């Protein structure tokens, strides 16, 4: 899916996912509050709440009432696994077809200084 056509709450989920995968938020770390994250991203707090709710439903965050949302144990590994599967099924096939059209190999990409 083209990122421009992706719903805002999914774009926000992507930002949080990338932050977890990059180690900005580790297991047990508290995520920014809905209001803070909304302000940082220029998003509606209800949209941020929807993104956070999805993480909660997926078991990637835990909620401590009155305190906040925290990255759940195993969240990074589950996110990595899901994104690897998405890459292999959805992103790689068109890239591979384009590489074949252009007669590019993995070595061409790795050795590229361009």
- Predicted confidence (pLDDT) at residue 73 exceeds the cutoff of 60: yes
Main-chain phi, psi angles of 23, to 5 degrees? 85, 5
Residue 112 phi, psi dihedral angles, 5° rounding: -70, 130
| Average pLDDT of the segment spanning 80-96 | 95
- Are 68 and 101 found together in one domain? no
Q: Which pLDDT belongs to residue 108?
A: 87
What confidence category does residue 114 fall into, taking pLDDT thresholds of 50, 70 and 90?
low
**Are 103 and 81 within one domain?**
yes
The dihedrals phi and psi of 62, each to the nearest 5 degrees, come to: -115, 150
Over residues 4-36, the pLDDT tens digits come to 788 999 999 999 999 999 999 999 999 999 999
30 and 83 both lie in a single domain: no
Residue-number span of the structural domain to which 62 is assigned: 3-73
- For residue 7, the domain's CATH number is 1.10.10.10
Is the same domain home to 41 and 22? yes
């Amino acid at each position: 899916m083209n990122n421009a056509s992706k719903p805002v709450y999914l774009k926000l989920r992507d930002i949080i996912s990338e932050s977890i995968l990059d180690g900005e938020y580790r297991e047990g770390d508290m995520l920014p509050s809905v209001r803070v994250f909304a302000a940082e991203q220029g998003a509606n707090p209800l949209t941020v709440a929807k993104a956070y709710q999805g993480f909660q439903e997926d078991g990637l965050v835990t909620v401590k009432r009155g305190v906040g949302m925290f990255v759940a144990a195993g969240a990074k590994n589950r996110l990595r696994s899901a994104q690897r599967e998405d890459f292999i099924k959805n992103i790689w096939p068109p890239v591979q077809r384009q590489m074949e059209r252009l007669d590019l190999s993995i070595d061409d990409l790795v050795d590229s200084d361009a």
